[in-house]
Amino acid sequence: MLRYILGRIVQMVVTLWVIATITFLMMKAIPGDPFSSDKKLPEEVLHNLRAYYHLDEPVSVQYLVYMKDLLTFDLGFSIKDQTRTVNDIIADGFPVSAQLGAQALVVAIIAGVILGAVAALRQNRLTDYAAMVMAVLGISIPSFVLAPLLQKYLGVEWELLPVARWEGFTSTIMPTITLAALPLATITRLMRASMVEVLTQDYIRTARAKGLPPGRVILRHTLRNSILPVVTILGPISVGVLTGSFVIENIFSMPGIGRYFVDSISNRDYPMIMGITLFYSALLIFVNFLVDLAYGWIDPRIQITKKGER
């Protein structure tokens, strides 16, 4: 087990290093630098700025400087917002993004598992069809279509919820719904499919035959066995929630990292783009690692250490 974890950690570090290197090289491959568009600046100032950010040195030196800073978790200064470091901005924005993401994940997992389970128990009946129609819609409607719809009806027409901005819990409801829609639909479908399969297993019949109350059969025997596919996609789902948050935070004017990321892209603020990409990648890689460890805990039959392939 320890060997497996160590191996995975080495692999995670290598992946991060590859991401950092690729990102760095791509940033350097673009002609011009962040200051070439600011024509107002005098030549000396530009020169000093470039020297300050090591932009006047060869790429190899810049790479080493960046990697050295990375080892101490220093992501450098934002070029457009020069009073703050990228670390500051991430520290400011992350709580907002994390709260939205966590709320969306919790809603998606709980509602998705329940909906999927109910659909499977009422297979081929009206409830099942209703749940499945919802799931297909959830997968087909992109968040940036759903968000304006919600804003229009819940926000503008019926005035139930604030249209945008970060003002207390009520303002997080709409972004949470939009973020949760896709993972909710995915989980519902997966849960239904695996539950339908588990319900036909012999051990369920045994449990029923020995007279267990239906609630107990479902909770103890069916749910636990059919939840595994849901766990396996928690990794990809968190990725989806994270990337979804770029758009959602923009539409709802939330002060999260996603919005800074989109801003930094249009400003070509390279330290910011790199910093946030690395931060997100590290987060996602870590989440995937946790998910892999969770398999073994949920289903003791799976021995992650012995598996040749994921």
Partner 1 sequence: MEPATDQTRFLPSVRSRTELEKISRPHTTYWQDVWRRLRKNILAMTGLVLILLIALMSIFGPMISPYDYSDQNLKDGINLEPSGEHWFGTDDLGRDVFVRVCEGGRISLTIGLMAALIDLLIGVIYGGIAGYRGGRTDEVMMRIVDILWGLPYLLTVILLMVVMPPGLGTIILALTVTGWLNMARLVRGQVLQLKEQEFVLAARTLGAGTKRILFKHLIPNAMGPIIIMLTLTVPSAIFAEAFLSFLGLGVQAPIASWGTMINDSLITILSGEWWRLFFPSLFLCITMLAFNALGDGLRDALDPKMRK
d(CA 178, CA 172): 10
Structure tokens at 71: 């080892």
Cβ atoms of residues 248 and 262 within 8 Å: no
Q: Which helix (H) or strand (E) holds 227?
A: none
- State the greatest distance between any 2 C-alpha atoms of the chain, in Å, as a whole number: 86
Binding to partner 1, residues 19-58 (CB under 8 A) = 19, 22-23, 26-27, 29-30
Binder to partner 1 among 61, 265, 290, 297 (CB under 8 A)? 265
Q: Whats the size of the chain, residue-wise?
A: 310
Residue 285 in contact with partner 1, rule: CB under 8 A? yes
Residue 140 in contact with partner 1, rule: CB under 8 A? yes
Residue 110 in contact with partner 1, rule: CB under 8 A? no
Task: Count other C-beta atoms under 10 Å from residue 83's C-beta.
Answer: 7
Residue 123 in contact with partner 1, rule: CB under 8 A? no
Cβ atoms of residues 239 and 248 within 8 Å: no
Residue 242 in contact with partner 1, rule: CB under 8 A? yes
Residue 176 in contact with partner 1, rule: CB under 8 A? no
d(CA 220, CA 231): 17
Q: Closer to partner 1 at the Cβ: 217 or 234?
A: 234
Residue 36's closest CA among 20, 56, 16?
A: 56
Listed ranges 57-65, 104-112, 221-229, 274-282: which one lies at the site for partner 1 (CB under 8 A): 274-282
Residue 226 in contact with partner 1, rule: CB under 8 A? no
Q: Which residues bind partner 1 (CB under 8 A)?
A: 11-12, 14-16, 18-19, 22-23, 26-27, 29-30, 136-137, 139-142, 144-145, 148-149, 151-152, 156, 239, 242-243, 246-247, 250-251, 262, 265-266, 268, 273, 277, 280-281, 284-285, 288, 309-310
